[in-house]
Amino acid sequence: MTLPTGEMWEAMRRAEIGWTLYRQDRAVNELEERVAALLGKQAGLFVPTCGMANLLGLMTLGERGTQAVLESNSHIIASEEWGITSIAGLYPRLVSGTRGVMYPVELQEAIMGAPRTPTHQSKTSLVCLENTHNFAGGTVLTASETDSLAQVAHQYGASVYLDGARLWNAAAALKTPAHELLENVDAVGVSLNKGLCAPFGALFCGAYETIAAARLNARRIGAASVHKAGIFAAAALVAFDTMLDRLDLDNQRARRLAKRLADYIEIDMTTVQTNIVFADVAQHNISSQEFAARLETLGVLVYARPGSRVRFVTHRMIGDDEVERAVHAVRKVCEE
């Protein structure tokens, strides 16, 4: 729901564009280098969506016909329509995490759990992590949690991909530079258009050879020639100049919002770690869809999960007044 700032619109109007596919677009090149450096990786690739970055991660680091291990509510599993299987050719083995975080020993069991006999060596080629974890409530993976999981993956010869659609919110919450959260991660996808407010796009970053292979995979799935991408890259560069330092405000506002909302709807405060607040509205005998529809009539937009969970998100356009309005609207819906 975030919109670009005035400065981003200006940058887009002024953008000089080139042929992106042939690396003639200076803003795209600069963005790829800058974001890769911020994430401590050698190279980057501009892609249209973070879902596309995830798919490239699966296709590039995973090996067709082998197993990938993921947390059971990860975005790749819950929202990406089984591209992991139908496109990347991987068998997904799921591990339930606690607040989105798998335990290393359970990851190890999942890797070892693939049936093995002298003639049947089910291999795990990939482990996927998510930071922040969307459906767990925007929960964070610390650098040491990531390292422990990556260590297990690497010990068994599997690569590690991290879906970092909202990694910048995790970095702000943990007061840790983003690259420290990725030291042992082989490739990462990050969104430009969520809390960063850029209009479009995502980055897939990793080692030189990973990005070279991902460029080929992007061609295979029709995502390599994002024409005139320099317009979007110019806005994204402004996002990196202006947005990173303010993300902690979104995290703090989400916490304030959650504390106030907890008077009316059920919220597990231990999951409120960044800019997402998940609530359960079952106690009001109302579905999440209906709850969201009623809130919408009061000018508050939330995302309804199937069942009774609704998601509130804070961002640049949600200030203290909007938090108050949201609390007011929720109270009204609950009292009706």
Ligand X SMILES: Cc1ncc(COP(=O)(O)O)c(C=O)c1O
Least separation in angstroms between residue 189's CB and ligand X is 7
Binding mask 278-317 for ligand X (x = CB under 6 A): ----------------------------------------
Candidates 45-53, 101-109, 117-125, 153-161; binding stretch for ligand X (CB under 6 A): 45-53
- Listed residue (2, 37, 9, 1) closest to 235, CA to CA: 9
Interface with ligand X: number of residues (CB under 6 A): 11
Here the tokens at position 277 are: 């607040």
Alpha helices in 226-319 (DSSP H): 229-242, 247-261, 288-297
Measured CA to CA, the distance from residue 204 to residue 162 in angstroms comes to: 10
Instruction: Determine how β-strand 202-206 pairs with β-strand 276-280.
Output: unpaired
56 contacts ligand X (rule: CB under 6 A): no
**What DSSP letter does each residue of 87-113 carry, written as one string?**
TT--EEEEEPPBTTB--HHHHHHHHHT
Task: Give the one residue of 88, 165, 171, 329 binding ligand X; rule: CB under 6 A.
Answer: 165
Candidates 7-15, 33-41, 43-51, 293-301; binding stretch for ligand X (CB under 6 A): 43-51
51 contacts ligand X (rule: CB under 6 A): yes
Instruction: Map 5-27 to HEC letters.
Output: CHHHHHHHHHCCCCCHHHCCCHH
Longest dimension (CA), the chain: 64
191 contacts ligand X (rule: CB under 6 A): yes
163 contacts ligand X (rule: CB under 6 A): yes
Measured CA to CA, the distance from residue 41 to residue 44 in angstroms comes to: 8
Least separation in angstroms between residue 199's CB and ligand X is 12
Q: Which is nearer to ligand X, 200 or 291 (CB)?
A: 200
Candidates 50-58, 236-244, 250-258, 282-290; binding stretch for ligand X (CB under 6 A): 50-58
134 contacts ligand X (rule: CB under 6 A): yes
Binding-site ranges for ligand X (CB under 6 A) = 49-51, 54, 75, 130, 134, 163, 165, 191, 202
